[in-house]
Structure 1
Amino acid sequence: MMLPLDSPGTDPDKIAFMMAESGEQVSFGQLEQRANQVARVLRECGVAPGEHVALLMNNSRRFLEACFGMDRAGVYYTTISTRLTAAEVAHIVADCGAKVLLISCDVACVDAQFLDQLPAQLQCFEVDLSLSDLPSWTQRVDQANDLPQDDPLQGLDMLYSSGTTGRPKGVKWPMQRQRAGGRTMLVNLLQPLFGYGPDCRYLSPAPLYHAAPLRHSMTVIKLGGMVMVMESFDAQRALALIQNHRLTHSQWVPTMFVRILKLPTKLREQFDVSTMKVAVHAAAPCPIEVKLRMMDWWGPILTEYYAGTENNGFCSITPQEWLLHQGSVGRATQGQLHICDEDGQELPAGESGLVYFSDGPTFSYHNDTERTAHTRNAQGWTTLGDIGRMDQDGYLYLLDRRDFMIISGGVNIYPQEAENILIGHPKVMDVAVVGVPNEDFGEEVRAVVQLVDPQDAGPALAQELIDYCRSHLASFKCPRSVDFDPQLPRHPTGKLYKKQLRDRYWLL
């Protein structure tokens, strides 16, 4: 039995993961058998080591079972966002060169015309018996031999960026030909930082097709822990799961914290979350006030990190460190951190610029040498396009994405500053600050606000929000106008599709 890594004597009946809504449980013994079957089916389908497989699936037991099988078949596996259009999915499938695609038919873009947009040579399987014209993946795997292959090889994910600033990019790491079941770079990185191990009971509230939920969930299971997978995020349900299943670890994005804190105080405080030892959060910087409120409630257990799907570097910060460096996302724990100007030249501590890493893992963007080259400076250091500053002690403070910076009258404005203020207003559920056209200044600052109660929208509240922001921040950084939106276009992992919002004002 290859699972888990550090506990070879683990009881095969111990639960490896559980689905929150359906209640389905998969033991380590069952996962081992299913992974062997998946690996064998891929070989039968002619997928050789180093080739590609893709999944278009919502969170389910079959999702993780498939990934663990691919992880020992020596293939690249691409998990695709279920929020994409059929054309976007078709592009990713063609771009990664997938030989097999697994389809869950509860995905919105899957309809009668969907298959016509896919490459003709692609082998497609349905996971849940809804598309009668496709062979059943579940039946095919159920019938396969469940003994391990003689040469199980370590697979590797090749995930696509969320596309919040443009077309998704396939992030490709070099694949080392090694036997499956050993310690990987991710296991070695994440285990000591977050205390993952056989006693860990981990809550995964986000879509598994995204990098962090998938990688952390698989790492916890590989180390003998149990993962509770939410089919979809709900703030109250998440608190109930922590209480009822005595969960010890979890991973969040700041918007989830906001959703939890917006619950009525008496409701949220009735849940016992005392078993939670480590609450990891990432994907976007957390507003200071939000994090302080969470730690006042949960205690000093919030551990933050900064990294991208590319994993070219990694910063992390403990709750104790953060209280001394509020607003920081930590110091480099993988790679060496640098702040550089637009020409790639390093800047001194305290100055703002692009965040670069050196000496981190190597990556490239699949089939896109130009965009890969754009991430490198003359020294070979890599950047993901985030702007930040580093203090004298090496702690990084993120300011915003380079693509989202507003230039008004020649002055650089970072929207995140105003967003962090406005989200603290009791009537605001979500907010995005963007630059909109201005004849005199080129751009001006506008807030797009989703309210707790949409009926509060109106000129009076718009002015109240502007005044509220100006009471905390320099006026030139604050919105000059406010639009109300019933639902901001936010990825389930917490990332905002700000380009979509900005395009509303520029593509007229």
Structure 2
Amino acid sequence: MARLLRRFAETRPDELALADDEGTTTWRELNERVDRLCGALLGSGLAAGDVIAVHAANRREYFEVMAAAGHIGLRYVLVNWHWTAQELRYVLQDAGVRALFSEPAFAAQASEALVGLDLPTRVAFGTGIPGFVPYAEFVAAASPDEPAVQVMGTPMFYTSGTTGRPKGVNRKLFTVGAPVDHLALLAEGFAATFAIPDHGRTLLVGPVYHSAQWAFSFTLFLSGRSVVMRRAFDPAQTLHLIDQHAITNVHLVPTQFVRLLRLDAATRQSFSGTSLAAVWHGAAPCSPQVKREMIDWLGPVVHEYYGSTEASINTIITADQWLAKPGSVGRALGTTEIHILRSDGTVAKPGEQGEIWFRYTSGDDVEYWGDPDKTAAIHRTDGRFTTGDIGYFDEDGYLFLCDRAIDMIISGGVNIYPAEIENALITHPAVRDVAVFGVPDDEYGEQVKAVVQLAEDAHATDDLAGALMAHCRDSLAGYKVPRSIDFVPELPRTPTGKLYKRLLRDPYWQAGSRRI
């Protein structure tokens, strides 16, 4: 048996392990399928240290592939299925991928990306991709015997490419070929840190290719917590699934909070939610008012973390702690040193804003795959690294985020952070989503621009723009209030909540010769 699945297959063989839109898999069935998949991968010529990629939406087979790769020492790349064929091709080449798993929904991108590439193992979840072996055949033809040698395989995540080509993120201590039991220790430690109940059940309604969604589903899965997944987020369905499957934990992003809060009263009142033990959120800033409304509704189970693809998870704050320190993202975990540094490299005082720098007490570090120059660019000579966020500590060591340095607006010499303006606007009932950034201003250098996606029952008018500005003035200093507001049908946001802000910002700067 696959070592990490053995105890679950033996002690609760007929209990649910995985569920998706198409069906369910028990722990007994899962163990056999993973053993066969290990044999099929090894039989195709792959060996520990080789790289495979998964190009699919959330589905049970995705977890089978990750589990198999994690037991035979493969590095597995989780592909953003929104990428174009050109972006997919770049990642396949950059990572040195030797086997690709895809699905018919993305056949066009996969087939175009592979033209001319020497990638012998191509497997389709389903049928209908020319040149791909159907997954069922690939697995069924292999031996059901457990792999003779089981060593740890690890994921590799690529950044979303909001500032250029996607970049592969590699962790120093995520060592391919280490004892596979290290994964079990990681999984149990993660479950304890994030207050996930024994025999808990995870709901996955965000794409598992994202590092946070992977951590809050697959890592917990390896510790025996079953996973119920859907390909996309639907707010009403999410509430139904939580009650139907007695879900104990779910990872959400702030835009999903807003959509849940705006469900009709009858739908919200019919929701029990008594099984929920932990609702974790991160990946994007959350309006304090939205956060407070979620806690008022669900109770003190709405917790927050701060991290990134590069920096993993570095702080956590429980609901009760947040109510005492509203707006904070918590205190550093024991594994992480967090430093707030001024522009001259000296340490900022409590309450003083600066760039956030990290260092791991374990000796772990981050690198961009195959790119020492980009790796060096985010590091200091003392080993600390940054993701470009701005923040400060209060007197009690709680971290507060201001914004990303790249998004900061400088108007008349004053630093303005878009996140707090976005937090104010999102609380207006006419606003479904919002982005704030700087645009050219002949007198002040930059002025504050807001781009708003309206709620379904709202209409874009000059009067509404004025009302939104007045709404901002109720809680923000005058110089932070948007000078103008544009309305768009939809903001370019990924399913993980990350906003492609440069796609909104760039057109306003294209007429001029400067970019800032």
* TM bracket (short chain): over 0.9
The 3-state SS of whatever aligns with 1:437 is strand
Q: For the residues of structure 1 that align with 2:320 and 2:289, how far apart are their CA atoms?
A: 16
Amino acid at match of 2:420: E
Residues 46-125 of structure 1: pairs in structure 2 closer than 5 A: 46-107=45-106, 110=109, 113-116=112-115, 119-121=117-119, 123-125=121-123
Structure 1 residues 84-134: Cα deviation after superposition (integer angstroms, max 9, x where no partner): 111111111111110111111212852763432x62345322222111332
For the pair 1:256 / 2:289, whether they are aligned, the reply is no
Bigger mean CA deviation after superposition, 466-475 or 452-461: 452-461
2:317 match: 317
1:487 match: 490
Q: For the residues of structure 1 that align with 2:37 and 2:305, how far apart are their CA atoms?
A: 33
Shift in Å, 1:339 = 0.5
Bigger mean CA deviation after superposition, 456-465 or 218-227: 218-227
1:37 match: 36
1:370 match: 373
Superposition RMSD on alpha carbons, in Å?
Answer: 1.9
Structure 1 residues 2-37: Cα deviation after superposition (integer angstroms, max 9, x where no partner): 244876852121111211x33x11111222222222
Q: For the residues of structure 2 that align with 1:369 and 1:122, how far apart are their CA atoms?
A: 29
Shift in Å, 1:425 = 0.1
Q: For the residues of structure 2 that align with 1:111 and 1:90, how far apart are their CA atoms?
A: 8
Q: For the residues of structure 1 that align with 2:436 and 2:306, how far apart are their CA atoms?
A: 22
Structure 1 residues 114-155: Cα deviation after superposition (integer angstroms, max 9, x where no partner): 432x62345322222111332223311121112211101110
For the pair 1:238 / 2:241, whether they are aligned, the reply is no
Residues 72 and 152, structure 2, Cα contact 8 Å, conserved in 1: yes
For the pair 1:437 / 2:437, whether they are aligned, the reply is no
The 3-state SS of whatever aligns with 2:138 is helix
Cα distance change on mapping 1:433 and 1:264 into 2, 3 Å? same
The 3-state SS of whatever aligns with 1:212 is helix
2:170 match: 172
Shift in Å, 1:80 = 0.7
For the pair 1:154 / 2:155, whether they are aligned, the reply is no
2:131 match: 133
Residues 439 and 509, structure 2, Cα contact 8 Å, conserved in 1: yes
Q: For the residues of structure 1 that align with 2:118 and 2:510, how far apart are their CA atoms?
A: 35
Amino acid at match of 1:490: R
Q: For the residues of structure 2 that align with 1:6 and 1:339, how far apart are their CA atoms?
A: 44
Unaligned runs of 5+ in 2: 512-516
Residues 299-318 of structure 1: pairs in structure 2 closer than 5 A: 299-311=299-311, 314-318=314-318
Shift in Å, 1:184 = 5.1
Q: For the residues of structure 2 that align with 1:176 and 1:369, how far apart are their CA atoms?
A: 20
Pick one of 363, 377, 382 that aligns with 1:379. 382
For the pair 1:190 / 2:193, whether they are aligned, the reply is no
TM-score normalised by the chain length of structure 2: 0.93
Q: For the residues of structure 2 that align with 1:347 and 1:112, how far apart are their CA atoms?
A: 52
**Equivalent pairs: percent with the same residue?**
37
Cα distance change on mapping 1:72 and 1:184 into 2, 3 Å? same
Shift in Å, 1:343 = 4.1
Shift in Å, 1:317 = 0.8
Unaligned runs of 5+ in 1: none
- How many residues are matched? 505
The 3-state SS of whatever aligns with 1:326 is coil
Shift in Å, 1:192 = 1.4
Shift in Å, 1:297 = 0.7
Structure 1 residues 459-508: Cα deviation after superposition (integer angstroms, max 9, x where no partner): 11111111111121012112110111111111101111112111222235
Shift in Å, 1:180 = 2.1
Residues 151 and 179, structure 1, Cα contact 8 Å, conserved in 2: no
Structure 1 residues 308-352: Cα deviation after superposition (integer angstroms, max 9, x where no partner): 122355100111111111111111113111111234432122111
Shift in Å, 1:261 = 0.6
Shift in Å, 1:185 = 6.3
Amino acid at match of 1:347: A
Structure 1 residues 229-270: Cα deviation after superposition (integer angstroms, max 9, x where no partner): 121100000001111122111111111101101112232222
2:514 match: none
Structure 1 residues 201-251: Cα deviation after superposition (integer angstroms, max 9, x where no partner): 111110111111122211222111211112110000000111112211111
2:358 match: 357
Cα distance change on mapping 1:108 and 1:479 into 2, 3 Å? farther
